[in-house]
Structures are given as C-alpha cells and as structure tokens.
Amino acid sequence: MVLTDTVVAGQCLVAQACRICGDPTREPFLDLGLMPLANDYQTEPGAGCQRFPLAVWEGGKCGLVQLTHVVSPEVLFEDYAYVTSCSLPMVDHFAGLAGQFAVVGAKVVDIGSNDGTLPAAFAALGSIAIAIEPARNIECKVPKITRFLDEVAVSEAIDLLRGKADIITATNVCAHVDDLLGFLGHVRTLLADDGHFIAEWPDWGKIAAAGAFDQIYHEHLSYLTFASFAHALREAGLQAVQLQHIPVHGGSLRILARPARPNEIAPLPTYKSLVPGFMQAAEATMTELPVFLESWKGRIAAYGAPAKATTLLNAVKIDEGLLPYTVDSTPFKVGRYIPGTSIPIRPESELGNPECALILAWNFAEEIVRKLPEGTRGAVPIPFPRVL
Ligand code: JHZ
C-alpha cells in the first residue's frame, strides 16, 4: 500500500453539527482513517495522493448519517473523472426518467449534470433543458452554467430560460452538498410555483442492508433516507408528493416534490437507526474479501474502476498482488491507477481471460456479466464477496 500520502491542511473542514437538524456531532460509528479521494486517479503506480479523514456518524434528531469531515467542493468537483455516458445503463435510466416527466416546451434545469445526459434526454423529448454543473473538464450536451448552485447560477438560469423552471432535477447531487438546506432554498427560488423538483440519491436503507461501506467516500457527505430528506425539504419550503424506489447504484430513492402551500406542514416520517445492521454486514465483507481474493490468487482480475472501489480497496488494503489490474469504459481513467493503490486501469477490451472477474462496479453486475468472455466467471464484493 502507499504510505507517503499527505493530508492537505486548509482543504478539509470538520463538521460541527447535522446539516439538516443542527444536532451537535457525535462519535463516528465507522472510522476508515485517512483515505484518498475516490476520483483522484493517478498516472503513476503507487503515486502519493492526498488523503483526508473519512468517518461517518449518525444525527440524533433527523437520523441523517453523514461524514465527520468535509473536503472543499472545488477540490472534489471542478475537475471530475466520472462521466455519466460511459455507463450505458445510466443513459437508459435517465432516458426513462425523462420519458416519465418530460413535457414539450417545459423549462428544465438539471443540477450537477456531469456531461448532460439527463437534460439532453429531456431536450430530445421537446423540453427546453439547461445544466448547472461545476466541472470544467467535462463537455456538456446542453447549454451549461459552469458553477455550483448559488444565487448567481439561479439568476443566470432564469435569464437563460426567460423564466423560472417547471422542472428541476438533481440526481446523485444532494448527498454531495454540505449546505443542503441552502441548496434546497436555491431550488425553491428557481422553481416556478407550480413546478416540480425531482431528486435521486443512493438510499441509505439499501446501503445499510448490503453493508455497502464502499459507498462511503468524501464526495458523499450525506447518506440520506426518505425520513432525513423529507426533513430537509420541509425546512426549505418544499413538499414531497411521490417516492419511488429505483434500482440504480445498488438501490436509490427518487422523490418528486413541489413548493409547499401556505400553512402546509408535512408530517415527518419516523426513523429507526440502521447502523447496527450496516456494521455487521460491512465487517463481514471486510473480513471475507481478502480471504476470497487469496482463494482466487493468480486467476482473478477486476472489472470497473468506480469511485467506490477506492474505499473498498483502501479500507481492506487490497493491492495489485491480489488484484493485478482492472478494466473500465471511461477513457480518462484508462492508463491510470485506482487511487491509493498500484492497480492499473486498462480498457475493457484488455480484460483478457482471467478465470474470475471481481466486478467492482457491482451495481452493474448484471450488465457486466453479459460482457465477460466465455470461461470467465463474474464475482461481486458486495453484498458479501461471492461468485455469481
Ligand atoms: P458507478 C458515481 O460513483 C459517481 P461510482 C458519483 N460520485 C456518485 O455519486 C455515484 O455514482 C452515485 C465503469 N463501467 O456508476 C464506468 C464499465 O467499465 O458504479 C465507471 O467507471 N463497464 C457522482 O463511480 C464505473 O464502471 C460497464 O459496462 O462508484 C461505474 O461507476 C459499465 C456499466 C460501467 O459509480
């Protein structure tokens, strides 16, 4: 493992209170120590990358599970490695979302658009769609305001659309935002009074059930349930009107919300801690993964270089001795190394014929297994390491 990495002062803040209900911070229930940033793919094997504390605690009042430390969003998101359209199942997923909600002529703002796959799907169905996205290095398929969501972005979006938005989407964004109430306040300002807000995020309920500790990384500041998110919406003057369980990212929630009406106060769902079940499942995987990989040593490679592989492999201390290489469909990641490891990332066409492929992007196991050559068995690390 790489031991030379450094913690960078001034780029990381310690959380003082719950970002939703203001409850003071508590002791973390899981502390993974100093970890590399999940998308910090290096060009040299074992190259020193910055490391930051990574630990999670659970708020008492609203039940929000969250990180103890907040890395500067500029460091995390202005130069970004993940590209939505490199995962074809996500392209289909966003086409489905647009198909469900697009209206011809509707004004749509997508926040945290990445390469604009989702707003482009709305535009293809006749909506007028724009993006608000801070990454400078990723080309966007629709007109884009290159900023984090703030007052300036709101007013630029209103200018561009010549009015407020009928639909605002934020998929895999709310968990990434430190000032979540401020963010939802901007959503409320940008949204027309009869408009709708659609948000998706990986469901803490599903993460906990699977013991998916690999979903814990610096970009994911919050591990949201419907209960904690409903609490945040209410604080921002928004009201949930529909909840859907969707399969992406190992199980996500999609919420449809609208501006709250005068004097409307939504009842808050109750929350029961999921931490004990999460810890039991996560610890079982942490113990079993090295044993599983030892049993396949010399006969196994990996498939995918998702952000969550950084946590998985660094927390369990798996390096190229046990996983000699992985493959990935993202051109930017190819030729680099999984952060904090010396595991190289090759193009998908260079998987070769290992006897077994450990699918690090286990959320796409079904699709990836179909691509494996004959004679290569697929395996997943989560939930619990096993051959499929
Ligand atoms: P994937 C992303 O995390 C990014 P990641 C982000 N941090 C977030 O919040 C979560 O989603 C929710 C590759 N691949 O989607 C592409 C293949 O090689 O699991 C990706 O590098 N072949 C914003 O990075 C990776 O796997 C394939 O056939 O953990 C998948 O990354 C497919 C389908 C994917 O998310």
In single-letter form, the type of residue at position 210 comes to A
Residue 85 makes CB contacts below 8 A (sequence gap 6+) with 91, 115, 117
Per-residue pLDDT of 73-101, as tens digits, reads 999 999 999 999 999 999 999 999 999 99
Alpha-carbon distances, residue 282 vs 72, 166, 357 (angstroms): 27, 41, 21
Read off the pLDDT band of 193 (50, 70, 90).
very high
Atom 19 of ligand 1, nearest CA residue:
361
Long-range contacts of 325-334 (CB under 8 A, 24+ apart): 325/301, 326/301, 326/302, 326/360, 327/301, 327/302, 327/303, 327/351, 328/86, 328/304, 329/86, 329/87, 330/81, 330/82, 330/83, 330/86, 330/305, 331/86, 332/41, 332/81, 332/83, 333/41, 333/81, 333/305
Candidate from 75, 82, 358 with most ligand 1 atoms within 8 A of CB, to mutate:
82
Read off the pLDDT band of 1 (50, 70, 90).
very low
DSSP code for 34: E
Would you say 355 and 77 are in contact if contact means Cβ atoms under 8 Å apart?
A: no
Biggest distance spanned by C-alpha atoms of the chain: 65
Q: For 152-156, 232-236, 267-271, 367-371, which range has the lowest pLDDT when averaged over its residues?
A: 267-271
Residue 21 makes CB contacts below 8 A (sequence gap 6+) with 59, 61, 62, 64, 231
Look at residue 2 in the predicted model and tell me its pLDDT: 31
Read off the pLDDT band of 271 (50, 70, 90).
confident
Q: Quote the CA–CA distance of 108 and 160 in Å, as a whole number.
A: 11
Q: Quote the CA–CA distance of 289 and 313 in Å, as a whole number.
A: 9
| Residue the block writes with tokens 């409850």 | 23
CA of 388 relative to ligand 1 center, distance in Å: 20
CA of 209 relative to ligand 1 center, distance in Å: 20
| Residue 5 in this model has a pLDDT that exceeds 70 | no
Angle at CA 169, nearest 5°, toward 164 and 171? Answer: 155
Look at residue 46 in the predicted model and tell me its pLDDT: 77
Read off the pLDDT band of 266 (50, 70, 90).
confident
Instruction: Give 297-351 as a DSSP string.
Output: TTSEEEE---HHHHHHHHHHT--TTT---EEES-TTTTTSB-TTS--BEEEGGG-
| Residue the block writes with tokens 């003057």 | 237
Q: Quote the CA–CA distance of 229 and 170 in Å, as a whole number.
A: 13
User: Ligand 1: residues whose CB is within 6 Å?
Assistant: 82, 86-89, 172, 202, 219, 249, 304-308, 328-330, 333, 348, 361, 363-364, 367-368
Residue 197 makes CB contacts below 8 A (sequence gap 6+) with 167, 168, 169, 170, 187, 191, 238, 256, 257, 258
CA of 345 relative to ligand 1 center, distance in Å: 14
CA of 235 relative to ligand 1 center, distance in Å: 32
- Nearest-atom number in ligand 1 for the CA of 305 is 21
Look at residue 8 in the predicted model and tell me its pLDDT: 56
CA of 291 relative to ligand 1 center, distance in Å: 25
Would you say 198 and 169 are in contact if contact means Cβ atoms under 8 Å apart?
A: yes
Read off the pLDDT band of 6 (50, 70, 90).
very low
Q: Quote the CA–CA distance of 19 and 89 in Å, as a whole number.
A: 32
Candidate from 133, 217, 310, 328 with most ligand 1 atoms within 8 A of CB, to mutate:
328
Chain-centroid distance, C-alpha 375: 32
Q: Quote the CA–CA distance of 85 and 329 in Å, as a whole number.
A: 10
| Residue the block writes with tokens 């604009």 | 116
Look at residue 264 in the predicted model and tell me its pLDDT: 84
Residue 206 makes CB contacts below 8 A (sequence gap 6+) with 212, 250, 251, 252
> In the predicted model, what is the mean pLDDT of residues 19-41?
94
Candidate from 41, 76, 86 with most ligand 1 atoms within 8 A of CB, to mutate:
86
CA of 194 relative to ligand 1 center, distance in Å: 34
Residue 92 makes CB contacts below 8 A (sequence gap 6+) with none
Per-residue pLDDT of 290-342, as tens digits, reads 999 999 999 999 999 999 999 999 999 999 999 999 999 999 999 999 999 99
Angle at CA 74, nearest 5°, toward 339 and 44? Answer: 25
Residue length of the chain: 388
Read off the pLDDT band of 10 (50, 70, 90).
low
> In the predicted model, what is the mean pLDDT of residues 122-127?
98
Tokens of 55: 């630990």
Atom 33 of ligand 1, nearest CA residue:
87
Burial of 336 (0-12, 13-18, 19+ CB in 10 A): buried
How many other CB atoms sit within 10 Å of the CB of residue 384?
Answer: 14
